[in-house]
Structure 1
Amino acid sequence: MVWIVTITLLLFSSHALCTNPGLKVRVTQKALEYGREIGIQVLQQKLREIQIPDVSGKADVPVIGHVHYHITGIRINDISLPQSAVGFYAGNGIKLSIDNAYIHLTGHWRVKYLFISDSGSFDLSVNHLSISEAIGMTRDNTGRPAVHSAGCTANVGSLDITFHGGASWLYNLFSSSLEGPIHSSLNREICPKVSSAINGLEQHLKTMKISSHVDKYVEIEYSLVNPIAITNIFMDLDFKSEFYSVAQHKEAPFSPPPVSLSEQTDHMMYLGLSDFFANSAGFAYYGAGALHVNITNNMIPKQYPVRLNTSTFRFLIPQVEKLYPNMLMLMNLHANQRPVLKATPNNITIQAYGAIDTFAILPNSSLAPLFVLDICASVSAKMAISEMKLTGSLKLNSLRLSLGHSDVGPFKVTMLQGLLNIAVKAVVLPKVNARLANGFPLPSVDRLSFVNPLLKVNQDVLVIATDIHYGS
């Protein structure tokens, strides 16, 4: 039953209260139904652990006198939980109810009266067992989700005993004395076993990470920024989902926009990932000094006729070839401000701003500065989900150049447009796309995965609608 709650907790929580999240997760009734199927199996195993102590006593029988009996080796052989329901408990958590459950027990009996003793075995059926459990859901002071048993009741129905062996006339002498202790033991032990399942999940949640390293530059914080919001039909969890530089844990100078999700409940789960998620990544990578790349001639595919050397540049900027004849060149492309992602219906675009410092590579391997180009690029992004990671790829839309500084005299930058387009498409974007293909983790409970996720881009938010699967 613990997985009824576990499936809802894909990410985890934060210090701030009542703020817009970077990611909103909505869990629907369909998810609870899937969790119920898994949880009932877990609960059956827990109930099998119930131990009923041996029963001893005596019964006063008219004419015969005292009959001493001993009931030993009582154990549960079978449990059936055929009717169960689970639903949201508005403002509090989740409520599970089980009706018409059945338990089969076996054991041994032994009686003695005067000089007569007899023994045998018995089967006991518990019918019409009902269980009701409220699972409270909160956020602890570390920013992790927390669960607890918010109330449990169990009602053991009728007991039906069948004896085997011995003299049948002896059975009725102690059968009524047997029912009471077993009935009380079951009533006493069922709720603690249910609560044990809940507490097992709580201990599991305490070990979960609320941050994840992405690479040597950045990490992501996953923490709830608001209390868990629970209605009668769904549950919303608001996660910070912000990137930070590993070297410096610095908050982004901008805030997440509101994240809204539709009222649809066709899928088990909906995730609304705001622009803030990606823009905080851009801010963190920029702050970590990771947004730069050196472009050299050997990085340009051989099939391209244009090479990165001064001989090629004599057709574009003649003075480069005159000053540095027949020399290789190097371009250092680097961001001079953070990139900005914008999601609009069915479209994701990224504006990138930077500069290209261009050098001639002298015979002694030192660099001679040539010119600096300011660059503004627009790219389109496509996103996907792969193995619980958000992956992506970029495609160049436009590239605008302007001359920032020149050490070789004035020239028109329009002559460089084609060469730079080749360099960006052949070198820069493949490097960026290789990183995006590795993906950014969407933290989840162990052994939980998305099934057939669908992605849709809305205003300021990427919405992921998905079913889920728990297994190896």
Structure 2
Amino acid sequence: MAPLTFFLLLISSLFLSSQANLHHHLQPSETQDESFTSILVSQQGLDFIKDLLISKAISSIIPLQLPATIEKSARIPFLGSVDMVISNVTIYKIDVMSSYVKPGNSGIVIVASGTTCNLTMNWHYSYNSWLLPIEISDGGSASIEVEGMEVGLTLGLENHEGTLILSLKDCGCYVKDIIIKLDGGASWLYQGMIDAFEEQITSAVENAITSKLKDGIVKLDSFLQSLPKEIPVDDIASLNVSFVENPLLSSSSIEFDINGLFTARKKVPVAKQYRQTWQPSVSCTGQSKMLGISLDEAVFNSASALYYDAEFMEWIVDEVPDQALLNTAGWRFIIPQLYKKYPNDDMNLNVSLSSPPVIRISEHSIGASVYADVVIDVIEADQVIPVACISLEISGSGSVKIVGNNLGGSVKLEDLSMSLKWSKVGNLRMYLIQPVMRTLVQTVVIPYANSHLGKGFPLPIIHGFTLQNAEIIFSSSKVTVCSDVAYSDSDHLNQLPIRSE
């Protein structure tokens, strides 16, 4: 039964979040069937999940009571025919000595070998002997040890309309040997009991384990199909985690391709096009990491476009470190005509992006181009009067980091150019205004952006697992996170459908 757990938690661990009980439906778009994020679980990752969760799987299925009462008659020398019954056969302990999971062309092969099981049972016998005219009976309990049990199964995994479909291609259980030890009763019947019931007990154990495997696969398939296709990020955005294409199985890893783009929580009838510049794949520098997650730059640009459409990139600046910048008196040498027309009036700076920021990822860095309009407003008698608009072209460089299970980052200013878009106070000397705009960007715009970027967005990994010793690798048009994972005890795993009914 343990191998079922390996695969169940392997798949579940990749795509659950703490909001996994929230179900959303994707807005149809032209990018629905494209993959912009790939997730690879290496052999080290498979082994880690297996070793961590096998104990939880065993505790979830034991005690396991075999359904049948076994009856048998045997002829014992000098006694004649003996009728024997065993009942209440229950597996109460399972130890797995070695196991492995191996993906390949034929499917995902999972084998547990050298497994031992400990069982208890009740036994009863009765017989009529020619030596005595009365029926003789006895009964008691017995302990059984199953040795050298091997359990194996082969699973198929396919994508169907964004959801994983799990199928059982083959499964089986083989018991090499059993040892029965009677507690109570007539010990001189010990060998007779073994001869009578060894084969039937063996068959009952094999059938029970196989049956639980099949039941578990059905439940797991249903569970996988119920996983949400979106993970909420905030009130505005969700991550589209619907599967694209079938999982790619190699001899030492499993790779899953998902859409990975940001989508609006409140759906709007606007579909955006994102050009896929690479075939999704995960490439880590070494083979020691358990998990690799690759994100195309289209993922970041989809977030940029989404928050831009939601008018999230517009704000009024009414407080800056240098408060003189928000009064016309502070501008009297920069824009004299502004101070002359509105002497000592307070000001606001209305900042809005004219288009979504454009993110570019190269082998060494992340770059961003931002186009913004800054409207200079004068506040006079509680009236807001727009007096000029300056267009900014901001070039920035970014960095990314792991914040828990989120991918966060920050941006810094590299270059700033500007032009006058319109003015109600005559021509402006842009070379005098540029230092003011640079100060505005450095002290207000960049910190504001970094306060949001620093929080990051969730990577597709189960709640309860955390990335550990993560490395971030840049390549042409993508960012790859290569990481080990650590586990902290959580009730979320106990909610998975592995418990026997």
- TM-score, length-scaled by structure 1: 0.91
2:114: which partner in 1?
100
3-state SS in 2 of match to 1:307: helix
1:387 deviates by: 2.1
3-state SS in 2 of match to 1:232: coil
Does the 8 A contact of 1:217 with 1:290 survive in 2?
A: no
1:24-35 aligned within 5 A:
24-35=38-49
1:323 has 2:323 as partner: no
Closer, same or farther in 2 for the Cα pair 1:123/1:220, shift >3 Å?
closer
2:335 alignment partner AA: I
Closer, same or farther in 2 for the Cα pair 1:211/1:43, shift >3 Å?
closer
1:427 has 2:444 as partner: yes
1:37: which partner in 2?
51
Does the 8 A contact of 1:99 with 1:129 survive in 2?
A: yes
1:273 has 2:295 as partner: yes
Q: Deviations over 1:363-393 (max 9, x none)?
A: 1x11222111111001111111112111111
> Alignment partner for residue 123 of structure 2, among 89, 92, 109?
109
1:16-415 aligned within 5 A:
21-45=35-59, 48-52=62-66, 53-61=68-76, 64-90=79-105, 92=107, 94-114=108-128, 115=134, 116-141=136-161, 143-245=162-264, 246-248=266-268, 250-258=270-278, 259-262=280-283, 264-296=286-318, 299-301=319-321, 304=322, 306-363=324-381, 365-415=382-432
Does the 8 A contact of 2:329 with 2:345 survive in 1?
A: yes
State how far apart, in whole Å, the 2-side matches of 1:42 and 1:361 are.
Answer: 66
Q: Deviations over 1:436-462 (max 9, x none)?
A: 122212232232221221112222111
For these two proteins, the number of residue pairs brought into alignment is: 465
State how far apart, in whole Å, the 2-side matches of 1:186 and 1:412 are.
Answer: 89
2:458: which partner in 1?
441
1:38 alignment partner AA: L
Q: Deviations over 1:163-185 (max 9, x none)?
A: 23333333344432222321121
Give the gaps of 5 or more residues in structure 2.
17-24, 129-133, 490-501
Q: Deviations over 1:35-88 (max 9, x none)?
A: 221343244335534322332333244653332222233222332210212111
1:91 deviates by: 5.7
Closer, same or farther in 2 for the Cα pair 1:445/1:207, shift >3 Å?
farther
State how far apart, in whole Å, the 2-side matches of 1:280 and 1:18 are.
Answer: 13
2:5: which partner in 1?
2
State how far apart, in whole Å, the 2-side matches of 1:252 and 1:137 are.
Answer: 31
Closer, same or farther in 2 for the Cα pair 1:35/1:4, shift >3 Å?
farther
State how far apart, in whole Å, the 1-side matches of 2:407 and 2:256 are.
Answer: 19
3-state SS in 2 of match to 1:316: coil
3-state SS in 1 of match to 2:272: coil
2:94 alignment partner AA: I
1:24 alignment partner AA: S
State how far apart, in whole Å, the 2-side matches of 1:57 and 1:261 are.
Answer: 59
State how far apart, in whole Å, the 1-side matches of 2:248 and 2:82 are.
Answer: 60
State how far apart, in whole Å, the 2-side matches of 1:213 and 1:167 are.
Answer: 66
Closer, same or farther in 2 for the Cα pair 1:136/1:130, shift >3 Å?
same
2:453 alignment partner AA: L
1:124 deviates by: 2.0
Does the 8 A contact of 2:31 with 2:274 survive in 1?
A: no
State how far apart, in whole Å, the 2-side matches of 1:199 and 1:42 are.
Answer: 19
Does the 8 A contact of 1:3 with 1:38 survive in 2?
A: no
1:272 deviates by: 1.0
State how far apart, in whole Å, the 2-side matches of 1:367 and 1:156 are.
Answer: 84
Closer, same or farther in 2 for the Cα pair 1:216/1:101, shift >3 Å?
closer
Closer, same or farther in 2 for the Cα pair 1:17/1:70, shift >3 Å?
farther
Does the 8 A contact of 2:15 with 2:461 survive in 1?
A: yes
State how far apart, in whole Å, the 2-side matches of 1:18 and 1:440 are.
Answer: 20
1:118 deviates by: 2.4
1:240 deviates by: 0.9
Closer, same or farther in 2 for the Cα pair 1:8/1:113, shift >3 Å?
closer
State how far apart, in whole Å, the 2-side matches of 1:197 and 1:453 are.
Answer: 33
1:463 has 2:485 as partner: no
Closer, same or farther in 2 for the Cα pair 1:144/1:375, shift >3 Å?
same
RMSD: 2.5
Q: Which moved more, 1:317-326 or 1:200-209?
A: 200-209
